[in-house]
Structure 1
Amino acid sequence: MQEVGEIMHLAGSGRVIIQLSTELVEGQILCDEKGTRVAKVNELIGPVSRPFASATPLTNNIKKYIGKNVFASQESPANKPKKFRRRKN
């Protein structure tokens, strides 16, 4: 896993704000150091030199992760190609 940033705070909308140290894509799944899925990136905001990410929490107890580093999940829906099923007649 690659470290991508630090969770800064919980916004009023319920999303977490993450200060990024590396570039991410929208839809990327973020994990803690143990591999627990913590958040999913919704949008990238802020300056290009040091961007922030707004992410939806994937855990009920997101407050314990504030101030901790997050890592990019290797298996992410943002990186996987979509699989389409053929319709059978």
Structure 2
Amino acid sequence: MQEVGEIMHLAGSGRVIIQLSKELVEGQILCDEKGTRVAKVNEMIGPVSRPYASATPLTNSIKKYIGKSVYATEQSPVNKPKKFRRRK
């Protein structure tokens, strides 16, 4: 896992705002240092030089992660190939 940013605050819409240090893709799952899934990136916002991400929380206790670093998983679910496909 590689560190990608820090959770800044919880927005009024219920999403988490994350200040990024590395570039991410939409749909990326973010974890804490223990590997617990914390958030899923919805959109990139802010300036290109120092972007922010708006993410949907994946845990009920998101307030305890504010101010903590988040890490990206090795393989994004967006790029992950599907294992099983339904036959027609």
Matched letter for residue 73 of structure 2: S
Alignment correspondent of 1:71: 71
- Deviations along 1:24-75, one digit per CA (max 9) or x if unpaired, are 0000000000000000000000000000000000000000000000000123
Alignment correspondent of 1:26: 26
Alignment correspondent of 1:55: 55
- 3-state DSSP of counterpart to 1:4: strand
Partner Cα distance (1:56, 1:75) in 2: 19
* Runs of at least 4 residues off by over 6 Å: none
Displacement of 1:82 in angstroms is: 3.6
Does residue 7 (structure 1) correspond to residue 7 (structure 2)? The answer is yes
Alignment correspondent of 2:42: 42
Unaligned ranges ≥5, structure 1:
none
Deviates more, 1:72-81 or 1:17-26: 72-81
Q: What is the percentage of aligned positions where both structures have the same residue?
A: 89
Partner Cα distance (1:47, 1:81) in 2: 31
Unaligned ranges ≥5, structure 2:
none
Aligned positions, number: 88
- 3-state DSSP of counterpart to 2:30: strand
Distance 1:12 1:81, change over 3 A: same
Cα-Cα RMSD: 1.3
